[in-house]
Structures are given as structure tokens and as C-alpha cells.
Amino acid sequence: MDFDTRLPEMTALLQELVEIESPSHDKAAVDRMAERVAEECRQRGAQVELVPETAAGNQVIARWRPARRPDPQKSRPILLLGHMDTVFPLGTLAKMPFSEQDGKIYGPGVSDMKGGIVVALTALAALHASGGPSRPVTALFTPDEESGSRVSRPLIEELARQAALVLVLEPGLPDGAVKTWRKGVGEFTVRVHGRAAHAGGDHEHGRNAIEEMAHQVLAIQRLTDYERGTTLNVGLIRGGTASNVVPDEAVAEVDLRVMQPGEAERIAAALFALRPALDGTRLEVTGELNRPPMPFDERMKTTFEKVKAIAAGAGIELKAGGTGGGSDANFVAPLGIPVLDGLGPAGEGYHSEREYIFANSLVERAKLLAAILEAWE
């Protein structure tokens, strides 16, 4: 299969997908993207199911049947996971158009992760053209990864449980490494209730919720443990109404990242055990771990080594990396199904106006993905 000649068509398709802007919270926009992705899959020989959703854009399941009855060790499908939404609001294209310069391609979502969708469609186009894959392949394109995958998580888990291997189309690291670990991600809200009073006439009868929050912020930040890969970030704080009013409420939003199993439970317990430092104030803590960690454990090591050997057979030297950010791979890892992430093109700067991919990485990733789909046992 020759992928080198496919770069112009890959770039053209990427431009079309990028120009269908698809922010997570705009259902109509994500639905337009879903229609287009569904059509591209049909053209490449897939049986396509559009799964209607109300709380997010629709989901797309595309299934490729093998050309022949597969070997018994290849009877379970490989699942490809991609998300169709981006973090960029409608209209971003006007100030951040799709463009190419010095071997790099720029635009909203080129790397996270429309480039990955193009890689999957190209690998499957090549397999379809040569008579079909040697085993079943399922692709799930989801509408809400950037907003936490609350709608898509059940379907992700259901399809992953049936799979022999799950490959996630998130961007590769800038050096082309795939993602073999990701931290777990939690979101917590800490609310302090005090008592309002006039700052001049009645100061002593007020209970300053912001003062109480100051104590809590320090306690929360101190739970960070770099040795264990555990971090807490009070990232947003609000409270009070005016400088001459003792504030009766303050709210802090906290981001939690964990690497090791058990850390999320330990930190959650510590957060729920926070107690007020000032008499007459009250705390309310809510939140949970949204994505469990995907550690570089024995299963991951085995999965990476197998894929690395397949890559070497295709003339690609594959490196292992990881990131503190979460993805849908985090939902697959605890199921005990082999999973590898970062199969999309190598790039950098995602979620910012500097987002880009290396153009030649599109071709290399399509070659890699096709090789894995054919050789994984």
C-alpha cells in the first residue's frame, strides 16, 4: 500500500473537515461533522450507524467487515476511537484559517483531532481498496470528548469491551511518540458559606467567606505530591459582591491529576474531610474523578512492544511517551483491554492558536495504522 502519494488528498480532506467547525457545545455544528464523517466512512466501504443524541452531537459507528473469514485470533474487532468536536467556537476560522507553511499544517482542530480522523479514513480507504481488512474494524466517532465525554462514555466502554485492541486517534507527541500513559483527571468544587454584614457598621458579626477560602486554598494546594504524580490546582475562584460587604459566599474550582491507582480515592477523601478554619463558616465539597488514570503498566508495556515491532516492520521507529492530559483512552485502560493512544499525526499547540501538525506525519501515521490493523494478533 502506497501512502506517500496520498498526501494531497489527505491534506484536502483535512481542510474540509477543519472548515466544518464543530465546537463541543454546538449540537448542530457537531451533527454536520457527524454527517460528513459518516459519508466518508460509507465511501470507504463501511456499514455506518448514526446514533442520535440530544445532549450532544450525534455519534457515528462505522464497521468494516473483513474480506475473508478472519483467522481465529483475528476474529475480534480492533476499535478506533476519534472525537469530532473541538474546543474552538464557531468563527475561529476567520482569525485562524487552515494554512500550510514549511511542512506544517495549521488550523483549529488540525491536530486535536481532525488529523487523526483523516489518518483513520486513509488507512481504511487503502485496506478497502485492497479488498478489505483482514479482520473486523470498528470506528467510533464521538461528539463530546472536549467537554468530558459524558454522553459518549457508555458507548465507548461497550464497544471497547468487544475489542481485541483499542487505538485512540489523539495527536502524537511532537517527536512522533505515541501516548502510553495519561493521568487521571478530576474536577472538584469547594463552596464556602459565611455570613454577610456591612463592612463598616457590622464587621464583627460577619463571617468572611473569602478569608475562609484562603485557608482552604492553601490546604488544597498542599495535597500536591509530585513524587506520586499527583497535582491539585485551584484554577478558578470567585466570591463576594462589593468591597464594603463581608462576603457570605466564595467558590473555588479545583483540577486534580493522578498517575497512580488509589491516589484519586486518597485525595477525594482528603477534600471531603476539609473543615473550616473560622468559626461560623461552613464548607460544601462536590466533585469526582472524571477520567481514571492510564498507567504505563505491564499490559501497556506489552501492547507498546507489539505495536513497536509492527511499526519496525513497516520501516517506522516508534517511541513511547505520555501526558498529564486525559482522553477517552482513560476509560478503556481500566477495562483491561489493550489500548494505545496518540495514533494521530505528530503535532503541538493544541487548544491554542498555534495548533499544528507535521504534514508528512499524516502519511506516516496512515501507514502505521494500516500496518497495525493488518498485523495485530
Q: Which spans of this chain sit near Zn ion (rule: CB under 5 A)?
A: 112-113, 170
Q: What is the DSSP string of 45-82?
A: T-EEEEE--SSS--EEEEEE--SSPPPGGG-SPEEEEE
C-beta closer to Zn ion: residue 40 or 112 = 112
Strands 184-193 and 282-291: antiparallel
With CB atoms as reference, the residue minimizing the distance to Zn ion is 112
Closest approach of Zn ion to the CB of residue 113, in Å: 4
C-beta closer to Zn ion: residue 109 or 292 = 109
Closest approach of Zn ion to the CB of residue 304, in Å: 20
C-beta closer to Zn ion: residue 112 or 364 = 112
Closest approach of Zn ion to the CB of residue 327, in Å: 6
Residue 102 CB burial class (10 angstroms; 0-12, 13-18, ≥19): exposed
Closest approach of Zn ion to the CB of residue 308, in Å: 23
C-beta closer to Zn ion: residue 98 or 209 = 98
Per-residue cell: 37: 464523517
What's at 52, amino acid-wise? P
Closest approach of Zn ion to the CB of residue 88, in Å: 12
C-beta closer to Zn ion: residue 295 or 342 = 342
Sorted by sequence, the CB contacts under 8 Å of residue 135 that are 6+ apart come out as 66, 70, 71, 74, 75, 76, 77, 78, 164, 373, 376
Q: What Cα–Cα distance (Å) separates residue 366 from each residue in 53, 116, 164?
A: 30, 9, 20
C-beta closer to Zn ion: residue 65 or 351 = 351
Buried b (16+ CB within 10 A) or exposed e, 346-374: bbbbbeeeebbbbbebbbbbbbbbbbbbb
Closest approach of Zn ion to the CB of residue 296, in Å: 20
